[in-house]
Amino acid sequence: MTLYESEIKRIRSIVYSNQGQIDTVIATRNYIDNNYDTDLNLNLLSHIRFVSKFHLLRLFTKYYGQTPKQYLTDKRIEKSKEYLKKGKNITETCFAVGFECPSSFSTLFKNRTGLTPTEFQKEQLSQSRSNADFETLGIKPKI
Amino acid sequence: MLILKLWVLNLKFEQMKVKVIGIPVQDQEKALEFYTGKLGFVKKVDVPLGGDSRWLTVVSKEEQDGPEVLLEPSPNHFEPAKTYQKALFETGIPYTQFNVENVQQEYERMVSIGVEFSVKPTEMGTVKIAVFNDTCGNNIQIVEML
A104: CATH: 1.10.10
Is B119 in contact with A63 (Cβ distance < 8 A)? no
Residues A9 and A51 in one domain: yes
Residues A88 and A109 in one domain: yes
In a domain, A71, yes or no: no
Q: Which residues of chain B have pLDDT under 50?
A: none
Is A29 in contact with B131 (Cβ distance < 8 A)? no
The residue out of A65, A93, A109 marking a domain boundary is A65
Residue B28 sits in a domain of what CATH number?
3.10.180.10
Residues A80 and A61 in one domain: no
Residue ranges of B 36-95 with Cβ closer than 8 A to chain A: 42-45, 59, 64-65, 91-94
Residues A111 and A141 in one domain: yes
Is B15 in contact with A25 (Cβ distance < 8 A)? no
The boundaries of the domain holding residue A135 are: 76-143
Residues A54 and A83 in one domain: no
In a domain, A70, yes or no: no
Residue B57, amino acid:
T
Q: What is the CA radius of gyration of chain A?
A: 20
**Pairwise CA distance, residues A16 & A61, whole Å:** 14
CA proximity to B131, closest of B146, B145, B144, B116: B116
- Helix, strand, coil tally for chain B in percent (to 5): 35, 35, 30
How does DSSP assign B18-41, residue by residue? --EEEEE-S-HHHHHHIIIIIT--
Residues A81 and A142 in one domain: yes
pLDDT at residue A140, as a whole number: 55
pLDDT at residue B72, as a whole number: 97
Is B124 in contact with A4 (Cβ distance < 8 A)? no
Is A39 at the interface with chain B, CB within 8 A?
no
**Pairwise CA distance, residues A68 & B136, whole Å:** 39
Number of domains observed in the structure of chain A: 2
Segment (H or E) for B70: strand B68-72
Q: What is the pLDDT of residues A1-29, one digit of tens each?
A: 999 999 999 999 999 999 999 999 999 99
CA proximity to B40, closest of B131, B141, B109, B97: B109
pLDDT at residue A135, as a whole number: 60
Residues A80 and A58 in one domain: no
Of A5, A26, A143, the CB nearest to B119: A5
0.90 surpassed by complex ipTM: no
Number of domains observed in the structure of chain B: 1
Residues A86 and A140 in one domain: yes
Residues A81 and A138 in one domain: yes
In a domain, A106, yes or no: yes
Residues A5 and A61 in one domain: yes
pLDDT at residue A45, as a whole number: 95
The residue out of A17, A39, A65 marking a domain boundary is A65
Is A29 in contact with B65 (Cβ distance < 8 A)? no
| pTM score above 0.90 | no
Residues A99 and A59 in one domain: no
**Pairwise CA distance, residues A105 & A83, whole Å:** 13
Q: What is the pLDDT of residues A38-97, one digit of tens each?
A: 999 999 999 988 999 999 999 999 999 999 999 999 999 999 999 999 999 999 999 999
Give A124's pLDDT tier (boundaries 50, 70, 90). Answer: confident
Average pLDDT in chain A? 91
Query: Which chain A residue's Cα is nearest to B124?
Result: A12
Q: Which of B15, B57, B126 best probes binding to A when mutated, by most A CB atoms within 10 angstroms?
A: B126
The boundaries of the domain holding residue B75 are: 18-145
Of B92, B124, B129, the CB nearest to A16: B124
Cα angle for residues B21, B92, B66 (degrees, 5° grid): 20
**Pairwise CA distance, residues A15 & A17, whole Å:** 6
Is B111 at the interface with chain A, CB within 8 A?
no
